[in-house]
């Protein structure tokens, strides 16, 4: 009997080590997502001079966007802020003295049910990241433009120049890898990976507290021509490991790591398989006139076809780009012409259909003098 118990204990202690060889994740903290029943979301685009934060309605979650690191040398991330402003057709003015604010009240009727867990995890390198286990169920048929965002904010952020902002958005990830049909539940994992968090100035091992998460779904019902509205919103403190523990609790992390190792391996495999399947698109301007762009398309592990191209106004195609079929592992370069050059950034949306994976969208964002790479792979 003593031998059996000793073997069991040793096996539990060794499981995390063996699992590490299979690139398993350790779960450091987790919490159930909490959805709001009322209130909404306020997006605050901070001015360059960081004027006082505007008043946000009671019960509203705040996302503060900082767009001026290239102008000020701040170490705060600004790429997601620039993407979000472009996505919302907001023109940011460096001379503005007041923040630009958008208020998004929650939909009066429940159109989306959202459940899941938020986890702080790490792989064998022990660098921590955030995993969102999400189950989403539309209550009505939603439009194909419905999108879910997972967001990490810092409650009180300070850059290396001693600027301070409350509720600063450190990392944003859009997802559309779910069904928009009524009463259809989709379960998936959305990751804020370690390299993205590091680039955004987030170190959850050194600073495990002071962060908040948000999961927001924007969209409309099928047939509505309205601007996408906030359908549901989950928000709360990012979970963090307990700072104090007694001797009886000291074994808990090892036991939890052993129990969750198998689940963690399956999550890693699913995420990596999806990344390998998604095609990659890269674009560069052709010539100094910037009326043409060269787009190189790299197929992933599955055959796919491009079903549609769209470009955001005021840009207009001179002729519609071709609908291509590309076998797995192949690549192709095409030139896309525009009717005239425009001083705004060029945002191209590419609809694709991947064999066995269904319909997805990719986005290309061309800035003056820079190349663009497809980002925010999205499934319809």
CA end-to-end distance (rounded Å), the chain: 56
Nearest residue to 170 (alpha-carbon basis) of 101, 96, 74: 74
Lookup: tokens for 356: 């066995």
- Rounded distance, CA 161 to CA 69, Å? 11
What pLDDT does 227 receive?
Answer: 83
What pLDDT does 223 receive?
Answer: 86
The contacts of residue 148 (CB under 8 Å, 6+ apart) are: 134, 136, 174, 175, 176, 178, 190, 215, 216, 217
Residue found by looking up tokens 């999550």 in the block:
267
- Rounded distance, CA 211 to CA 208, Å? 8
What pLDDT does 8 receive?
Answer: 36
Contact, 135 vs 116, CB < 8 A? yes
Query: Where on the phi/psi map is residue 327: left (φ > 0), alpha (ψ -120 to 50), or beta?
Result: beta
Successive 10-residue mean pLDDT values, the chain, 380 residues: 36 41 72 95 92 81 95 93 91 89 92 96 89 96 94 96 94 92 95 93 94 96 87 96 48 57 59 69 84 88 87 87 88 90 85 80 73 48
DSSP state string for 287-341: TTTTSEEEEEEE--SS-EEEEEEEE-TT--BSSPPP--EE-TT-EEEEEEEBSS-
What pLDDT does 14 receive?
Answer: 42
Class of domain 1-277: mainly beta
pTM for the predicted model, two decimal places: 0.62
What pLDDT does 17 receive?
Answer: 39
Architecture of domain 279-379: Sandwich (2.60)
Lookup: tokens for 148: 């879910």
Contact, 112 vs 137, CB < 8 A? yes
What pLDDT does 5 receive?
Answer: 35
Please list the residue range(s) of the chain that carry CATH number 2.60.40.10: 1-277
What pLDDT does 10 receive?
Answer: 38
The contacts of residue 165 (CB under 8 Å, 6+ apart) are: 46, 50, 53, 64, 66, 76, 156, 157
Nearest residue to 212 (alpha-carbon basis) of 54, 75, 36: 36
């Amino acid at each position: 009997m003593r031998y059996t118990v000793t073997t069991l204990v040793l096996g539990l202690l060794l499981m995390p080590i063996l699992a590490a060889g299979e690139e398993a994740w350790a779960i450091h903290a987790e919490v159930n997502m909490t959805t709001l029943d009322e209130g909404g979301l306020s997006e605050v685009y901070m001015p360059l001079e960081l004027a006082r934060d505007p008043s946000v309605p009671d019960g509203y979650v705040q996302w503060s966007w900082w767009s001026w690191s290239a102008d000020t040398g701040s170490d705060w991330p600004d790429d997601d802020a620039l993407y979000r402003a472009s996505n919302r057709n907001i023109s940011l003015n460096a001379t503005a003295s007041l923040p630009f604010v958008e208020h998004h009240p929650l939909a009066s009727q429940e159109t989306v049910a959202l459940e899941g867990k938020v986890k702080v995890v790490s792989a064998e390198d022990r660098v921590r990241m955030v995993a969102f286990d999400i189950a989403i169920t539309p209550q009505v048929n939603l439009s194909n433009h419905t999108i879910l965002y997972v967001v990490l904010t810092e409650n009180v952020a300070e850059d290396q120049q001693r600027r301070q902002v409350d509720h600063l958005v450190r990392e944003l990830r859009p997802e559309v890898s779910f069904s928009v049909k009524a009463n259809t539940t989709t379960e998936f994992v959305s990751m804020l990976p370690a390299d993205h968090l590091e680039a955004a100035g987030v170190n959850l091992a050194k600073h495990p507290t002071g962060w908040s998460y948000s999961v927001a779904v924007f969209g409309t019902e099928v047939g509505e021509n309205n601007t996408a509205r906030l359908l549901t919103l989950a928000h709360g403190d990012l979970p963090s490991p307990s700072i104090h523990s007694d001797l009886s609790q000291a074994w808990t992390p090892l036991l939890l790591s052993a129990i969750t190792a198998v689940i963690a391996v399956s999550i890693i495999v699913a995420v990596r398989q999806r990344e390998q399947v998604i095609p990659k698109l890269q674009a560069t301007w052709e010539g100094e006139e910037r009326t043409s762009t060269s787009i190189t398309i790299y197929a992933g592990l599955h055959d796919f076809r491009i079903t549609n191209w769209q470009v955001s106004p005021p840009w207009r195609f001179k002729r519609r780009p071709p609908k291509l079929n590309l076998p797995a592992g192949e690549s192709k370069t095409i030139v896309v012409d525009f009717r005239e050059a425009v001083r705004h950034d060029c945002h191209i949306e590419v609809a694709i259909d991947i064999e066995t994976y269904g319909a997805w969208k990719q986005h290309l964002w061309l800035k003056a003098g820079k190349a663009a790479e497809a980002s925010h792979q999205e499934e319809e």
